Amino acid sequence: MTSKRKRGEEGMGEGEIVWQTPANAPQRCDYIFHNGRRHVRPYYFEFIAHVKNRWAGKSVVDLFTEEFKGRPYEYYVDAVKCGRIQVDGEMVPTSYIVKTSQKISHFLHRHEPPVMALEVKILKEEADVLTVYKPASVPVHPCGQYRKNTVVGILQAEHGLAPLFPIHRLDRLVSGLLIIARNASKADLFRQQIESGLVKKQYIARVVGVFPEEEQVVDVHINYNAREGRSTAEMVDSCKDTMAKGKAAQTKFTCISSDGVHSIVLCEPVTGRTHQIRVHLQYTGYPIANDALYLTKVASGRSMEKTTADRAAAISASSTAHDIEEDCVNARKENSSEDFRIDPMCTNCPNLAPKGYDGEEEGLWLHCVRYSGPGWIYECPYPEWASLK
């Protein structure tokens, strides 16, 4: 539900701030389209967490500084002093020591990363199933910094569709078929079929080089490193008594067409590991042609250094109060700043996008085209990049 709190912060002006919670449904007016990107108008949001055992015994300011590195120490000091950070619903001093299981609330001015301004196209609408063409760069459901700029959020805002239960996952940079159940019982049925191995998946990818004509089957473990946000192929030697770090993974690849420079490849993952298709294509020597993370070792190094929306949350915002004040003055000269109210305490204002987002992101040349199961088949049209003319 929406809650209202008096503006007690110096410089905020008179009136009330409306704080949003996950219960607030996205609306059409929440989106701003600018330079080919779909932005979300910044909004006040309440994050709630309960103190973990390893957090207990720390001051509330130290806890936030150490565990939530997206904002500087000075911000958290001011946030506690003015009540934007509370413990068990009450204001506390900056030296307050938190205890296990206490509820901590952080009220902040939230900026979501932009996504490509492409339509979330409804392919087929049935009584209990919805299939859509998911654009690249748009996450499926709320996660990380994304809440309204998601497939679920956009469908609710633009088509009034809710509740929605996505029954499989597509990585944010991947496009294509997304199957969404419209009730929990249908979602459970789909999940049971997937877990039982009754569902077949097909993707297409545009890869570097001339892919072999005969079917290629890659049966190589996948080891995902959550800290780095990337996976690696791991060969398992059956002759050695060593435990594999990664998980078993298998993908079948078939060449569809080639122009001598790139090839369009049909990808059929038997398992579903993180970045499985991307890593297995890299392993074969035919990586996805625009996949900076797995294209080459050199490109991979650059991609880890390059600031993207995925890594923006990990970048410390070092703006001081002077920097913020100077930025606010400059923002009034930009058209985009007129679309939302600037918060003088916000470490992202006056920019529309959050700090750390470079705005140069493109969709991956990997596209989900088909899912099939017992008695059902859903398909999605090919993207433009699948044509090698």
Angle at 59 between CA 85 and CA 17, to 5 degrees: 5
Residue 10 to residues 74, 79, 156, 215: CA-CA distances in angstroms? 15, 12, 36, 66
User: d(Cα 237, Cα 29) in Å, to the nearest integer?
Assistant: 56
Handedness of CA 331, 334, 340, 341 (dihedral sign): positive
What ranges make up the beta strands (E) of the chain? Answer: 3-6, 16-20, 31-34, 37-40, 43-50, 85-87, 103-110, 115-116, 121-125, 129-134, 165-166, 175-181, 200-208, 216-219, 221-225, 230-234, 250-258, 262-269, 366-373, 376-379
- Spatial CB neighbours of 271, under 8 Å, sequence gap ≥ 6: 247, 248, 249, 250, 251
Instruction: Say which of 128, 171, 241, 339 is annotated catalytic.
Output: 171
Nearest to 107, CA basis, from 46, 41, 64, 22: 46
Q: Is 323 known to be catalytic?
A: no
Nearest to 270, CA basis, from 250, 300, 245: 250
Q: Where do we find the tokens 């979300």? A: 40
**Active-site positions?**
171
